[in-house]
Amino acid sequence: MNALIEAGGLHVYYGASHVLRGVDVRIAPGESVGLVGRNGMGKTTLIRSLMGQVKSAQGQVRISGRDCTHAQPHAIARLGLAYVPEGHGIFPNLNVRENLQVAARPGVRGGREWTYSRVLDTFPRLRERLGHGGQQLSGGEQQMLAIGRALMTNPDLLILDEATEGLAPLIVAEIWKIIREIRATGMSALIVDRNYRAVLEHTDRCLVMEKGLIVQDGDSASLARQPEQLTRYLGV
Ligand SMILES: Nc1ncnc2c1ncn2[C@@H]1O[C@H](COP(=O)(O)OP(=O)(O)O)[C@@H](O)[C@H]1O
Ligand SMILES: [Mg+2]
């Protein structure tokens, strides 16, 4: 079966700084994959290069078998990838309803499971805030709105970069609960989070990044039983 996304030998530079040093990533349809590593190791850069937002100097990206190495970000998003960046990326001047409705579209194969009403069922807090502007929401509500917007595109792969960062524990628990619900629908996910235990609990497989390389790629359940395989790279 075609991988949903398959990247090989990715190298990315920011000026003279060699940030991705030959990264391979493969995510199968329905697979949930974690990506952990200390600050500055290249996780966000990897995601941005998969999304076409940073140019790689070398390497290939294929999405559902199609060569997307030089594709524009909007074209990549149209192939069924939804990316919730660090710091959300919602429209602060639109209200909750508008933020969700402008994102709405069927999936690549016409899937329309994630409707406006289903997203509001998943995020009851957003239903209570429909008329509020994006900038009037709490940090947790903004994060939920960002995930809700991503779901409105009916993606095959949902990419969450530090979705729980800076949020209160109760909200963090709510976000993980939503991630479980989304996983149960069979949507693929790529999840970056500082809490490696939570990542292992919510994924099938986990990648560890260190200095621009994937240094571990293992089954999440096995890694959860032998966390030292991972923690030696995490500085915890
Ligand atoms: N736009 C940029 N310009 C220059 N350097 C950057 C830029 N974005 C990130 N970096 C650097 O690239 C490295 C990897 O960053 P990043 O991918 O954000 O890591 P992570 O997400 O794992 O914390 C860091 O050293 C960071 O300072
Ligand atoms: Mg990052």
**Does the pLDDT value for residue 170 go beyond 90?**
yes
Nearest ligand 1 atom to the CA of 54 is 1
Ligand 1: does its nearest atom lie under 6 Å from the Cβ of 16?
no
Give the pLDDT confidence of 59-83 residue by residue, as tens digits: 999 999 999 999 999 999 999 999 9
Give the pLDDT confidence of 86-113 residue by residue, as tens digits: 987 799 999 999 999 999 999 999 999 9
Q: For residue 214, which ligand has an atom nearest its CA?
A: 1
Ligand 1: does its nearest atom lie under 6 Å from the Cβ of 45?
yes
User: Can you tell me which residue has the tokens 């290249």?
Assistant: 42
Q: Of 123, 53, 38, which Cα lies nearest the Cα of 83? A: 53
Q: Of 27, 26, 46, 38, which Cα lies nearest the Cα of 156? A: 27
> How many CB atoms within 10 Å of residue 25?
21
Give the pLDDT confidence of 178-190 residue by residue, as tens digits: 999 999 999 999 9
Q: What's the rounded Cα separation, in Å, for the pair 96 and 149?
A: 10
**Does the pLDDT value for residue 236 go beyond 90?**
no
Confidence at 2, pLDDT banded by 50, 70, 90? confident
Break the chain down into helix, strand, coil percent, rounded to 5: 35, 25, 35
Query: Model-level pTM?
Result: 0.96
User: 74 Cβ partners below 8 Å, 6+ apart?
Assistant: none
Give the pLDDT confidence of 11-44 residue by residue, as tens digits: 999 999 999 999 999 999 999 999 999 999 999 9
Nearest Cα residue to atom 24 of ligand 1: 40
Query: Which two tokens mark 123?
Result: 């995020």
